[in-house]
């Protein structure tokens, strides 16, 4: 697999030199400064490519993450063809620059959602965490969304109310900021009234409606991507469950099957995110990888440890609930199959996803979930798994 690294651009606290020192050669990035729905111009793409290549470390822009989908496309609101046309133009400009793998998501309003950025681990390391009672306290008692208390146990509601009643204004502001932290490249950061207004735009949109809006988007852009020799790969929902009453449609194997069938083309593929899918107790992530291996064009490798109440925490890359060795084996098997068949896109770009804050990472102003040393450790561990599996297979072939 191509060992890659997410970089948020020149303002990232983690430099390109650090990415190369970690052992990565592929860079995963986006043009975060361009508003959603606008065309990515050739000169902007070329400038970012030059920034990545300039240090002379053998780095290249391997994957776009993300080419954002405008919120009106998800809602199905207003005239959409101009937005589809802009997306196709951006694809053409990226393809002309030799960038052919595009990760995107279809999560309404928010990307990944956590309630705690600094859950303390033994030795003082820090992890991202989703505490269900804090999420419910926000949704039910801060956001005051009608029906937000439905479907939860008495224990969760009691803990949510206890947290809310004991929280200071600073605690509540911190929870709002934590929930917004999953939007590193977005322009919108909502306060409570703003989030309510945004959710109102989705009123009446259910699971099937959102699926229909995704189908319309795919039918509009996948043929262009296929003609350009590109691969679009949708990112799963994080967490893989409805959030603030919003539907989520990329949360399980059936969701993935439905999406890949909407436009049955190699250009309509999947970003295999083991952490996002792994937060759903019903998901067997290695089995999902093997089932959809032929349409996986990009992989985020991380792990989560789930609690019985629905909470979860970012675990060590080789810890947590997903068998990472089996998952890596599934991806390596698919790469071997592609090579034997002489297929294009034989090498799957992967990156170590969310890492723990450890050592000198603690207190450094990196993007939440993207410290340097924690991801360096994750990449080293994953590299070791890949090397061991490849060595074993070479001896038994």
120 lies in a domain? no
- Number of structural domains (the chain) is 2
Q: Give the model's pLDDT for residue 190.
A: 87
Residue 397's pLDDT band, with cuts at 50, 70 and 90, is very low
Q: Is 374 within the bounds of a domain?
A: yes
Last residue of a domain, one of 160, 183, 198: 198
pLDDT of residue 37: 94
Average pLDDT, stretch 1-22? Answer: 95
Length of the chain, in residues: 397
pLDDT at position 189: 75
Q: What is the pLDDT of residue 392?
A: 84
Q: 172 and 298 in one domain? A: no
Q: For residue 188, what pLDDT is reported?
A: 64
Q: How far apart are CA 203 and CA 296, in angstroms?
A: 33
Asked if residues 346 and 335 have their Cβ atoms less than 8 Å apart, the reply is yes
Closest of 120, 79, 106, 341 to residue 218, by C-alpha:
106
Of the residues 137, 167, 198, the one at which a domain ends: 198
Mean pLDDT of the chain: 95
**Together in a domain, 290 and 150:** no
The verdict on residue 118 lying in a domain is no
DSSP per-residue codes, 159-214:
HHHHHHHH--HHHHHHHHHHHHTT-TT-S----HHHHHHHHHTTTT--HHHHHHHH
pLDDT in tens, 138-191: 999 999 999 999 999 999 999 999 999 999 999 999 999 999 987 655 556 789
Report percent pLDDT > 70 for the chain.
97
* pLDDT, tens digit, 9 for 90 and up, residues 252-291: 999 999 999 999 999 999 999 999 999 999 999 999 999 9
Which of the residues are catalytic? 235, 273, 300, 353-354, 370
Q: What is the mean pLDDT of residues 355-378?
A: 92
What would the pLDDT profile of 303-317 be if each residue is shown by its tens digit? 999 999 999 999 999
On whether both 284 and 346 belong to a single domain, the answer is yes
Instruction: Clarify whether residues 225 and 362 are in a common domain.
Output: yes
Q: Examine the domain organization and report whether 191 and 325 are in the same domain.
A: no
Tell me whether residue 142 is in a domain.
yes
User: Pairing between strand 2-6 and 26-29?
Assistant: parallel
Task: Give me the domain span that covers residue 155.
Answer: 127-198
The pLDDT of 206-223, averaged and rounded, is 98
Is position 121 within any domain? no
Residues 281, 310: one domain? yes
**Which tokens go with 1?**
């697999």
Residues 167 and 246 occupy one common structural domain:
no
The pLDDT assigned to 393 comes to 76
Q: Does residue 27 fall inside a structural domain? A: yes
Asked which of 1-5, 23-27, 55-59, 248-252 is least confident by mean pLDDT, the reply is 55-59
pLDDT tens-digit series, residues 312-338:
999 999 999 999 999 999 999 999 999
Dihedral of CA 280/107/134/375: which sign?
A: positive
**Same domain? 136 vs 29:** no
- In this structure, are 57 and 86 located in the same domain? yes
| Residue 178 included in any domain | yes
Q: Does one domain contain both 293 and 334?
A: yes
Would you say 371 and 358 are in contact if contact means Cβ atoms under 8 Å apart? Answer: yes
User: Could you tell me if 88 and 232 lie in one domain?
Assistant: yes
Considering the domain architecture, whether residues 169 and 139 belong to the same structural domain is answered as yes
Q: What is the CATH number of the domain that holds 32?
A: 3.20.20.150
127 vs 183, which has greater pLDDT?
127
Q: Is 140 a member of any domain?
A: yes
């Amino acid at each position: 697999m191509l060992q890659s690294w997410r970089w948020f651009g020149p303002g990232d606290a983690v430099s390109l030199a650090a990415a190369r020192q970690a052992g990565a050669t592929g860079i995963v990035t986006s043009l975060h400064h361009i508003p959603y729905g606008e065309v990515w111009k050739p000169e902007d793409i070329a400038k970012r490519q030059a920034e990545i290549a300039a240090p002379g470390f053998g780095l290249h822009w391997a994957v776009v993450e993300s080419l954002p989908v405008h919120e009106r496309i998800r809602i199905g609101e207003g005239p959409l063809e101009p937005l589809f046309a802009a997306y196709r133009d951006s694809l053409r400009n990226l393809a002309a620059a030799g960038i052919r793998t595009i990760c995107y998501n279809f999560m309404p309003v928010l990307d990944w959602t956590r309630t705690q950025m600094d859950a303390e681990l033994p030795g003082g390391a820090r992890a991202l965490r989703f505490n269900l009672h804090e999420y419910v306290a926000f949704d039910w008692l801060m956001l005051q969304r009608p029906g937000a208390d439905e479907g939860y146990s008495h224990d969760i509601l009691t803990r949510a109310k206890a947290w809310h009643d004991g929280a200071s204004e600073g605690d509540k502001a911190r929870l709002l900021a934590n929930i917004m932290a999953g939007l590193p490249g977005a322009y919108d950061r909502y306060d409570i009234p703003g989030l309510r207004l945004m959710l109102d735009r989705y009123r009446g949109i259910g699971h099937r409606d959102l699926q229909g809006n995704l189908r319309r988007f795919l039918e509009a852009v996948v043929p262009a991507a296929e003609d350009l020799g590109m691969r679009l790969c949708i990112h799963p929902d994080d967490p893989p469950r409805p959030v603030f009453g919003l539907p989520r449609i990329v949360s399980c194997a059936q969701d993935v099957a439905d999406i890949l069938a909407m436009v049955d083309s190699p250009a309509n593929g999947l970003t295999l995110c083991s952490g996002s899918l792994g937060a759903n107790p019903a998901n067997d992530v290695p089995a999902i990888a093997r089932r959809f291996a032929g349409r996986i064009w990009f992989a985020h490798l991380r792990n989560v440890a789930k609690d019985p109440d629905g909470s979860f925490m970012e675990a060590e890359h080789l810890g947590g609930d997903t068998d990472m060795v089996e998952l890596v084996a599934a991806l390596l098997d698919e790469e071997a199959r592609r090579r034997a068949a002489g297929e294009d896109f034989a090498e799957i770009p992967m990156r170590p996803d969310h890492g723990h804050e450890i050592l000198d990472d603690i207190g450094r102003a990196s993007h939440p979930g993207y410290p340097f040393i924690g991801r360096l450790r994750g990449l080293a561990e994953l590299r070791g798994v890949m090397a061991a599996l490849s060595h074993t297979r070479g001896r038994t072939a």
